[in-house]
Amino acid sequence: MLTPEIALLALGAAVAGFVQGLSGFAFGMVAMSFWVWGIEPRVAAVMAVFGSLTGQVVAVVSSRRPFRMQALAPFLAGGVLGIPLGIAVLPHLNPDLFRLVLGTVLVIWCPLMLLSSRLPRVTRGGRLADGVAGLAGGFMGGIGGFTGVVPTLWCTLRGMAKDEQRAIIQNFNLAALAFTMLGYLVSGAVTRDMWPLLPIVAVALLVPVLLGSRLYVGLSEAAFRQVVLTLLSLSGLAMLVAAVPRLLG
């Protein structure tokens, strides 16, 4: 039976899958901008991680990507430390606080990415700073699959070439999301009522991910980034409008 909740779940997964196919990341952020309006946070977190991981697996099967372990290793090391922390926080989330945090991330991070071409390039910190970015990505992955947010911004501020950045983010996301999903299963975060929802998310995102991947080849990166990040900024603002009055009340 198609309930409003299932329709919202499928719609969010489809749109997020398309964006992930285009960019290589951002499934969790896009999906949550839909799901936060009708999906329980503990369910949305699991679905975001599962959907993000499924999209990454589809990308691995459908296209080849470069792999440089030396550049990726610090991000992975940080992610391994951050993911358990995020998983530990997840059961204690307040739904309105969850909206507040996610909305704040969106309205801060997305405009920063839009302006990143004008920001000074960060050259200090080395592998340790890369590891801290990975730790932050792992922590945010543990609370909802947002593994690519901080690492993507950090790679952009580093001034990495497009292909190098995409390779690091996609490989980091694949590893971090797999580890996060395993943590959810071991910790019991994936409850019995969630299992029937997993295939819905997988089916809804499959075709959009492939379409997004094909469109990415012929789309200007600058134009795509402006459209997507503007939409995400507006989504974050809408979440703040919904959450702040309830928290203050």
Q: Global pTM?
A: 0.81
- The residues, ordered by sequence, that sit 6+ positions from 61 with a Cβ below 8 Å of its Cβ are none
Q: Name the band, by pLDDT with cuts 50, 70 and 90, for residue 234.
A: confident
- Position of tokens 């290589």? 24
* Rounded Cα–Cα distance for residues 161 and 54 (Å): 26
Mean pLDDT in residue range 3-16? 94
What would the pLDDT profile of 84-121 be if each residue is shown by its tens digit? Answer: 998 888 788 787 887 788 888 888 878 877 776 666 67
Contact 157, 122 (CB under 8 A): yes
d(C-alpha 4, C-alpha 39), whole Å: 10
pLDDT tens-digit series, residues 132-155: 999 999 998 888 777 887 888 788
User: For the chain, what are the domain ranges?
Assistant: 4-248
* Tokens found for residue 32: 């949550």
